[in-house]
Chain A
Amino acid sequence: MQKLLLFIDKLSTWLGQFFAWSIVGLTALISWEVFSRYVVGAPHAWAFDVMLMFYGILFMMAGAYTLSKNGHVRGDVLYGFFPPRLQAGLDLTLYIVFFIPGVLALCYAGWSYAGESWAIKEHSSIMADGPPIYPFKTFIPFAGAILLLQGFVEIVRCAICLKDGAWPSREEDVEEVDVEKLKEMVHVKDEDIAKLDAYVVKEGAAK
């Protein structure tokens, strides 16, 4: 069981990170298209559709990855002050009430939506002679399924937390604000910060 959960965690992270690289593809494609269109004067009709695909795949597939790293925005005015058990209890309830039905529905609806698209081998209609979009639509149920799996892992996390009274640790990942790394980047050490205290205290005393 434990192994399976870790596997799912790894899977969604891996998938998310794999498809995250499409941002590089997106940047390259648009830069190239800009060059081609403005400098050389040879625009491509399909470029717009492909851009949207890169972008759509990027964020859809990163949904589970973000969930596994606890990266989705929360209203944490109160949540942040709750003890872990209460947090876990609330999360568990809401996963079951909101998350599972919502994502399950998205997944199921996406499945038939993509199926219809496959059946007619749908092509994009934004431009004449658009590229095929049925593979792109397939990403809706695919991303939904991964998200659902990750949701189950999160539910188990909540259960573990309810039992132990502390959140199980998550795997390390790059963070937006990695204080240690930033300190290294600007060559500031902890001692330096500690030394600064003298100035703060002195000022306080002077008052």
Chain B
Amino acid sequence: MSKGIWFGLSIMAIIVVGTLIAMPSPSQMTQGHMGLLMLSLVVVAIMLGFPTAFTLMGMGMLFAFAAYYMQNRVVEGAMNQTLDLMVSRAWSVMNNDVLISIPLFVFMGYLVERANLIEKLFKSLHLALARVPGSLAVATLVTCAIFATATGIVGAVVTLMGLLALPAMLKAGYNVKVAAGAITAGGCLGILIPPSVMLIVYGATAGVSVVQLYAGAFFPGIMLTLLYIGYMIIVAKIKPEWAPPLTAEQRFVELPPHAAQVRSVTGSTNALSGFLRAVRANQIAVAERRKVARDLLLMFLPAIAFVILMGLTWNSLTKPNVVTDTSELQEMGGAVDTSGSDAGGLAAPPGADTAPSGLTALPAEEPKAKDEAPTGLTALPAEEPKAQDSAPSGLSPLSTEGPKAAASGPSDLSPPPGDGAKEKPAQAPKAADKPAEKAKPAEAPAAKEMQRLPAPDAFWWVLGVGLLGLAVLFALFSYERVEIYKMLLTSFFPLAVLILAVLGTIVFGLATPTEAAAIGSYGGFGLAAVYMLVKEPPERMRRILKTWAPLFVAAIVAVIWFLLWKFEVLASGPPAWVGWISVAATTVWCVMATLQVKLIGTVRESVYLTAKTSAMVCWLFVGSSIFSAAFALLGGQEIIERWVLSLGLTPVQFMILAQAIIFLLGWPLEWTEIIVIFMPIFIPLLAKFNIDPLFFGLLVALNLQTAFLSPPVAMAAFYLKGVAPPHVTLNQIFLGMIPFMMIQVVALVLLYTFPQIGLWLPQVLYK
């Protein structure tokens, strides 16, 4: 045995002996002393390496028995009480409505991880960020942040990035330490940025609302990521030899034939004008033109999305207070219905009769668009005009917005597949502000009796800034950037949308974390299915897509209808039968997709892993709740409280002391143990010092980031070592992590000094 082991064992022995000496003689021992003994023994017992859940359970049981016995001095009664305590604790964990979201988030994580989009994600981000100093490291950090947030699995993220980013960085001449630090630090971000399991565990332990924790941890998480990125950029600037810029060769993006052709034919450097000219002038073959049209449509996605979003926001902002007069609302709904069917069945099923045509019209455009994303989004604009349609007079030719044209183009003017779609969107950026402005006077008469409220100034500011941003975006689109943008669209955006959708619904109170997690798992499944599909040969892919399309349409119609209703564009929600059809369709799709793209293996693995991870966390909870019940019974909490209060600390000192203790605990222990065992001791003290448990939770979450990076149990380092070339030593990895640990401490100080970083969002949302 090495010296280290003896050292460790002797420390344990010292703790035990020290505690025993400090204890008064058995005759004078009070329960509180027992509690302290219990606490010091549990630290030693955990160090011995026995599964912590059962250490806590066994110890809790023994001490609970002791506590009951010391109260009554009746063996049998104490035994019964102990048994009751244990089973009621276990039962309370089984009935815990906070912990229930853990398996769901974990399941979502495993599914997303297995969707295998990290390779594409890293590649597209590294190309997109090519001009940033230290671009590879920055891309690594961003990839890690996104992917780790979606999956929450530190080990897998670090391993994968070790396989992808480390070789890329080493080949580009990066310093080993810098590369290792970026990967390990980035991989751990997922545990902080919500939706993360750690915050759920803290919420369950401390009795803080998980929703508020998520809202609170969002900005600190972003801040830490930005600090990391800032550090990398500074390193790359000061020490270019550590993180050299990419060579032209490494930045090279290969253009697809149609883009290359457009460039040579039109001679335009801007992709937007090039594509537009190529389409209008009939200069290239039809087959190529179709691809050009598709690219154009993709390029306009942000503009379309922005217009829809602003339109809906404007609609709900300026909506008059309907509480006073509901009949008006229904009338408006009626008007929508008729105008909807006037629009030619495209506008989805407003009533029972138009539904079939809606269903046929939409699939018609599905195969043309070929891609999944556009269909979802074209279907959306298809309904959007209804808002404007309610004011038939207001539809001046110009205010026929981009999205409408884009959507109705492919399906109405079917002969030239994309022509209609390209022509009109061309005016969109220029015209986009006009409809918005025009819409205001135009809509006013439509509402007749109902006066539109004026939109707040902030809305116009956002609109202006957004339009400016879009204009800059389109001006910057070169052919290479369009390629990168397309790559991002298939790797970065699905993940970002998934995370933001899950997080958004939770934070804005639209759904509970449990519900959002379940839908997220569903989304993870969908993501995995689509990515598996893309790997299939094109022929087969097309065939499968054809079977999927009608099923998607049913669900999408119901969801969009629902959204429009929620945004108060439509007066009534979808009728039940539309809902049931879409539920049936999605169920059928799940089964079909599982069979068609051989997802069953992926799902099975995810299911088993989910079971193991949830069992690990939840059994730990069972153990620790028995343990903390025993601790409370013995009154250990009171002794600690009295002791801490007797120190006469100010809240600030207490806070610093607590964080320092957690920081130190992070060296030998993992975050689960720290939160589950030690938080119950800290939390009751918070009230004495007037500290917000929410704020404390955010500090703890940030603090525990260090637990991942601090040797000797820095898991991240070992995962990276496992896939690094043999000459990369653990020491190099540890050294690389140190600057990032410093940044974590800086972030902690920042958050402490400016609590608003974390508390602003929850305060705005929940007060």
Contact = CB atoms under 8 A, between A and B. Distances in A.
B64 to A, nearest CB: 10
26 contacts: A17-B607, A21-B607, A23-B103, A23-B607, A26-B103, A34-B518, A39-B574, A41-B573, A52-B97, A52-B100, A55-B103, A71-B612, A73-B670, A75-B668, A76-B713, A81-B8, A102-B54, A108-B83, A110-B87, A140-B90, A177-B155, A179-B722, A186-B164, A197-B726, A199-B173, A203-B175
B725 A197 contact: yes
B104 A23 contact: yes
B329 to A, nearest CB: 17
A204 B607 contact: no
B47 to A, nearest CB: 5
Contacts of B727: 197, 200-201, 204
Contacts of A79: 47-49
A20 B610 contact: yes
A174 B52 contact: no
Contacts of A139: 94
B673 A73 contact: yes
Contacts of B166: 196
Given A39-B579, A51-B100, A72 B616 contact: yes
Contacts of A97: 58
B160 A182 contact: yes
Interface of A: 16-17, 19-21, 23-24, 26-36, 38-42, 48, 51-52, 55-56, 58-60, 62-63, 65-67, 69, 71-83, 86-87, 90-91, 94-95, 97-99, 101-103, 105-106, 108-110, 112-113, 136-137, 139-140, 173-177, 179, 182-183, 185-188, 192-194, 196-197, 199-201, 203-204
Interface in B479-536: 511, 514-515, 517-519, 521-522
A71 B579 CA distance: 41
Interface string B610-626: 11111111111000000
A197 B726 CA distance: 7
Given A42-B576, A51-B100, A78 B8 contact: yes
Contacts of B235: none
B668 A98 contact: no
A35 B515 CA distance: 10
Nearest to B116: A185
Contacts of A21: 607
Interface of B: 1-2, 4-5, 8-9, 45-55, 57-62, 82-84, 86-87, 90-91, 94-95, 97, 99-100, 103-104, 107, 116, 118-119, 153, 155-156, 159-160, 163-164, 166-167, 170-171, 173, 175-176, 511, 514-515, 517-519, 521-522, 558-559, 562, 573-574, 576, 579-580, 582-583, 587, 603, 605, 607-620, 668-670, 672-673, 712-713, 719, 722-728
Contacts of A34: 511, 515, 518-519
B615 A98 contact: no
Contact of B673 (A32, A63, A75, A174): A75
A106 B93 CA distance: 13
A36 B58 contact: no
A78 B667 CA distance: 12
Contacts of A41: 573, 576
A63 B94 CA distance: 13
A150 to B, nearest CB: 11
Given A17-B611, A201-B727, A58 B518 contact: no
Contact of B616 (A73, A81, A175): A73
Which of B4, B82, B515, B608 counts the most A-chain CB atoms under 10 A from its CB?
Answer: B608
A75 B104 contact: no
A199 B9 CA distance: 41
Contacts of A87: 49
